[in-house]
Amino acid sequence: MKKSLILFSMMIFVLSIIPNAFSGGGQIKWWKNPNIVAELNLTNNQANRIENIFSSYKGNIMSLNSQLMEKEKQLRKLIRNPNATQDEVLKLTDEVENLKGELRRLEVKMFLEIREVLTAEQRDKLHQIKERYRK
């Protein structure tokens, strides 16, 4: 149970940096942050592997995110349309939710690949770092 909680917490931490990492939102990727790298004792090889994994998913995640934003915009517009039928709104709602699921699944898949690069000790330390950042 404890390992599941730690794994879930690490996943949330990693996924929480994804939007900023893609948008250039001012936050440095955790595997490029010198303080985190030092604390985790992350090797250059590990950092490069994580960067490669991240880069391999970046295009698909950005594309899905863009599609999701567009569908959500369409849904907001449709909901405001007094002539829209319930079926139209629900169909578009299903499309939005399907995109959210695809995006989350892809992000989790990326996380799982990144997780495999880290040792068990590094995973535990990353969890501790995440807890500090949360506070």
- The answer to whether the predicted template modeling score (pTM) of the entire model surpasses 0.85 is no
Instruction: Please write the tens of the pLDDT for every residue from 119-132.
Output: 999 999 999 998 98
SS3 119: coil
- Class of the CATH domain delimited by 2-134: mainly alpha
- What is the phi/psi pair of residue 24, to 5°? 70, 35
Structural contact between residues 5 and 126, judged by C-beta atoms closer than 8 angstroms: no
With 90 as the cut, is the pLDDT of residue 43 above it? yes
CA–CA separation, 135 and 122 (whole Å): 20
